[in-house]
Structure 1
Amino acid sequence: MGAVAVSRNSGLIDGGLWFRLDEVSAVSAARRAAEDLGAEVGLGTDSLSGLAIVATELASNLVKHADDGLLLVRRVRSAEVAGVELLAVDTGPGMADVTRFARDGHSTTGTLGIGLGAIARQAGTLDVSSVEGRGTVILAQVWPGPPPAPATAAAVSRAMSGEEVCGDGYAVRSAGGRTQVLVSDGLGHGPMAAAATAATVQAFQAAPAGPPAAVVEHLHRAVRHTRGAAIAVAQLDDGEVRFAGLGNIAGFVVDDTARRGLVSLPGIAGHQRRATREFSYPFGPGALLVMHSDGVVDRWNLDDYPGLRERAPQVVAATVLRDAGTRRDDACVLVARARR
C-alpha cells in the first residue's frame, strides 16, 4: 500500500518521515510533505518549486521502476541555514553508469535513471550510488541559496516494522573545535525508547565540552529518569578517532586497508555501567567512521559497492541501513569522514 511509514525521532529535528513508494497515490503525499517542510524552513518561491519537482521525480521513479522504494523527507541544517533533504532508497535494479542515466532524454525501462537530469538542475546538492542488481540511493538537497559545504558526518534511522516512532537516534555537534557524534539506542522500542533517545540527544547537545568518556558519563547521569539507552560517543581528531560506548552500539573505522572494530563496554546509560573507558584509533585522511545500533547486523562490507566510500555520508549510511538493517528492530547508521 502507499501509506506513510513514519520514522520520527522525538526531539530529533532531522529524524524525518519515511514514505513507502509502491503506488501512485504516495507520490503526492511525499511531494506535499516536502513542500510543507520547505515552507517551514523558509525556502523561497523558486526553491519551493524546485523542491516539488525533485520530490515528484524521485517519488515517481520509485513507484515506476524500483523495488521496495522508500523516500526519506527531512530538514537539513548547516551552521547558518536550513534546507530540505530527500533520500531515495531502493533494492533494484540499479544503474551501471549513473552519468549516462542522468542525461536528459535517456530512458530505459526498469531503471531509476529517468528524471535525474531534472533533479540535478533543481537540487543544490545531488549524490548517487548505484550497483546493478543491488539498488540505488539518491541524495538530493534543496537550499534557499547556494549549498553549504558538504557535511562530514550524517546518519539515517528508521523505526521497526509496525512502530510509528524510532527509539534509535543520533546527533552531531562541535565541542571545543572538534566534531563529536552520538548514536543512541533507547531500551526496547516504541514511544518510551524514543523518549530515552530524545533525552540522550538533548543531554549530548547541552553537555560541556570534553572527551568522549566524559560526555558518556554526563549522559549516564542525565538520563536516569528514562528507561535508559545504549550509547556511543566518538570524537574526530586529526589522525585519530576517540570512542567511548556503553552497550551494543557498534563502531568501525574503514579505510583502504581494513575494517577495524571499536570497543564499547557493557552497560545501559542511565541505569548500570561498570566503568567508562575511552579508546583511540588511527583515522587517516579519507577514512570512514561507521557507527550503528544493534538493529543493523555487522556483516556489511563497503567494498561490495564500487565507489561507495567516496559518496556522501548520508548515502553510505542509507546503503548500510538498507542492506544490513533488520525490520525486527529500530535501526540507525551514522557515518563520518576524516579530513583529507
Structure 2
Amino acid sequence: MSPAWVRAEDPSAVGAVRRRAVELAEQAGFDATRIGQTAVAVSEAVSNLVKHAVEGVVLVRPHPEAPATVELVAVDKGPGMADVARALRDGYSTSGTLGIGMGAIARIASGYDVHSVPGTGTVLVMHFTADDTPGPPLRASGLTRPIGDEVSCGDGFAIARNGESTTVLLCDGLGHGHIAAVAAQTAVELFEQVLEQEPVSILEHLHRGLNRTRGGAVAVARVRPGAVTFAGLGNVSGWVADAEGRQGMVSLPGIAGHQGRTLRQFEYQVPSYATVVLHSDGLTDRWAPGSVPGLFARTPAVIAATLLREAGSRRDDACVVTVRPGDGGN
C-alpha cells in the first residue's frame, strides 16, 4: 500500500500526521529526544497548513533514498509567500502557510527545502535523521497519489544508487486499484533483482516477469553525471528539464508483460543543472518548466511535489520521479 496523503482540513490532521512521524522515527531508531523534536516540527508544519493553507495535503514516509530517515512533504495551493527567507526568521508571522514557527522547524529538521509563489502555493519538504546518522544524498525523489479517494495506487517507483549513478523505475499498472497496484509492486520487486544490468536489460526482465500480472507502462532510467540512459515501454513520459525548457525521451509503444516490440534504450545529455523527470499519464504533459519560477533550482523532492500539484489529475493514479545527475562524487 502506498503511503497515504492526509488532507490538512481540520486540527485532527495534526495528531494523525504526528503519530505517523513518531512511529517512523521509532522504527528508524531515533532516541526519545530526537523523536520529540521530530514530533514538534511535524506538528508545527501541519498546524500551519490547517490554519492558513488552501487545499493543503501532507505526506510522512521513510525517505526514498534513505529508509532510516523520516521525510515530510507538505503541499498547498495558496496563498504562498513572497519572501521565504523572511518567513524563516524566528518571530516572523505571515498569513502564508509557513509563517509561525518556520524558524524553529528549520533548526529541528536535518534538512529542508521550500518553494513558494504568491497566489500559487507552497511546497515544503523536510527530513529528520537520528543525530549521528548521515542524511540522504538528495539526488532523487518520487511521489505517488491514487485516483480520487482510492487507497491503493496503481503507480509505483523505485530508486537505487550505485556510486555516481542513480537508477530509477516508474511503473503505471494497467487500470486502477488493487490489481494495478499488484502490477506496480511486482515491477519494483523485479527491478530490485537486476539493478546491475543496463536499463534495456532491466526493462526486458520486467517485461517477462509482468506477464503474470495485468501489466502496465514501465520506464527505467540510469542517471549519471552528464547523461541519462532511458528505456521505456508504454505511456510513460520521460524528460530532461531545466529552467529554460525540456527535452522528451522516447518510450516505445506497448504494455509491459503483454505487448512490446524489440526494446531499446536511448542516451541523452543531462547538464549538471538539469533534472530528469519521469511521470505516468496521471500527470498531463502540458506542464512547462518556466510556469513555476525558480522551481528547477530546488531539490528533486520539491520539484516532484510541485509537478504533482500543478499537472496531476484526480481522475487517474499519478506518479512522478525526479533525478539529479550529481557531480561524480559521493
Q: Provide the C-alpha distance between the structure 2 equivalents of 1:257 and 1:307, rounded to a whole number of angstroms.
A: 10
User: Is 2:38 aligned against 1:27?
Assistant: no
* Contact 1:252 1:289 (8 Å CA) reproduced: yes
Q: How does 1:281-296 map to 2 (within 5 A)?
A: 281-296=268-283
Deviates more, 1:323-332 or 1:268-277: 268-277
* Contact 1:98 1:113 (8 Å CA) reproduced: no
- Give the one of 197, 200, 205 matched to 2:192: 205
Gaps of 5+ in 1: 1-7, 10-15
- Paired position in structure 1 for 2:175: 188
- Paired position in structure 2 for 1:109: 95
| Shift of residue 177, structure 1, vs aligned partner | 6.1
| Shift of residue 278, structure 1, vs aligned partner | 0.9
Q: Provide the C-alpha distance between the structure 2 equivalents of 1:34 and 1:332, rounded to a whole number of angstroms.
A: 23
| Shift of residue 24, structure 1, vs aligned partner | 1.0
User: Is 2:250 aligned against 1:235?
Assistant: no
- Paired position in structure 2 for 1:142: 128
Q: Provide the C-alpha distance between the structure 2 equivalents of 1:259 and 1:209, rounded to a whole number of angstroms.
A: 28
- The Cα RMSD (Å) is 1.6
1:256–1:158 Cα change, 3 Å = closer
- Paired position in structure 2 for 1:119: 105
TM-score, normalised relative to structure 1: 0.92
Identity of aligned residues (%): 49
Q: How does 1:51-66 map to 2 (within 5 A)?
A: 51-66=38-53
- Equivalent position SS for 1:241: strand
| Shift of residue 123, structure 1, vs aligned partner | 0.5
| Shift of residue 206, structure 1, vs aligned partner | 1.1
1:155–1:114 Cα change, 3 Å = same
| Shift of residue 293, structure 1, vs aligned partner | 0.3
1:231–1:31 Cα change, 3 Å = same
- Equivalent position SS for 1:224: helix
For 1:20-44, what per-residue CA distance to the aligned partner results, in whole angstroms no more than 9, with x for missing partners? 0101112111111111121122111
TM-score, normalised relative to structure 2: 0.95
Letter in 1 for 2:81: M
* Contact 2:53 2:96 (8 Å CA) reproduced: yes
- Paired position in structure 2 for 1:3: none
Letter in 1 for 2:138: A
1:269–1:91 Cα change, 3 Å = same
Q: How does 1:82-97 map to 2 (within 5 A)?
A: 82-97=68-83
For 1:237-283, what per-residue CA distance to the aligned partner results, in whole angstroms no more than 9, with x for missing partners? 33211111010110000135431011100111111111211111111
| Shift of residue 301, structure 1, vs aligned partner | 1.7
- Paired position in structure 2 for 1:18: 5
1:153–1:78 Cα change, 3 Å = closer
| Shift of residue 139, structure 1, vs aligned partner | 0.6
| Shift of residue 17, structure 1, vs aligned partner | 2.2
| Shift of residue 208, structure 1, vs aligned partner | 5.1
- Paired position in structure 1 for 2:234: 247
1:243–1:77 Cα change, 3 Å = closer
Aligned residues: 326
- Give the one of 42, 47, 50 matched to 2:34: 47
Letter in 2 for 1:128: V
Q: Provide the C-alpha distance between the structure 2 equivalents of 1:183 and 1:198, rounded to a whole number of angstroms.
A: 11
User: Is 2:57 aligned against 1:70?
Assistant: yes
